[in-house]
C-alpha cells in the first residue's frame, strides 16, 4: 500500500519523540541562534519543532499556532522549552540537544 506524504508525516508525528524530530527533521535546516527562523532555511531547535508542525518559517504563516503546538508537544514530553532554547542559543547542535533530551527522559 502506498502512503501519501501527509499520511507518512502523520504516522511519524504519532511515533516520534521530540529528540527524534530534532535528529531527523532538523537535518533539513541550517541551525541558527536567537530566533525561530531566518525566513529561509535556518531554524533554531524550537523553530524545527514549529516547522515539523507545519510552519514555513515566515511570520505570515500563523507562527503563534505552530508555536502553541510545539509547546504542547514539549509539555507532553515533559520538556521545559526554556532548556531547549538555552541549549540551542549556547551552541549545542540539534543532535546534542536530542541526546540530552534522551538522557533526561529515561
Give pLDDT tens digits for 37-71: 998 999 999 999 989 888 888 866 566 777 888 88
Q: pTM of whole model > 0.75?
A: yes
Residue-wise pLDDT tens digits, 77-89: 888 889 999 999 9
pLDDT at 54: 84
**Phi and psi torsions of 29, nearest 5°:** -120, 155
What Cα–Cα distance (Å) separates residue 23 from each residue in 1, 2, 20, 60, 106? 27, 25, 5, 27, 18
Amino acid at each position: 500500500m502506498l502512503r501519501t506524504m501527509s499520511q507518512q508525516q502523520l504516522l511519524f508525528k504519532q511515533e516520534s519523540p521530540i529528540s527524534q524530530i530534532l535528529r531527523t527533521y532538523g537535518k533539513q535546516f541550517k541551525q541558527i541562534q536567537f530566533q525561530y527562523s531566518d525566513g529561509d532555511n535556518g531554524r533554531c531547535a524550537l523553530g524545527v519543532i514549529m516547522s515539523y508542525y507545519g510552519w514555513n518559517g515566515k511570520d505570515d504563516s500563523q507562527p503563534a499556532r505552530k508555536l502553541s503546538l510545539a509547546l504542547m508537544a514539549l509539555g507532553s514530553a515533559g520538556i521545559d522549552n526554556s532548556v531547549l532554547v538555552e541549549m540551542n542559543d549556547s551552541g549545542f547542535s540539534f543532535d546534542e540537544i536530542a541526546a540530552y533530551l534522551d538522557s533526561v527522559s529515561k
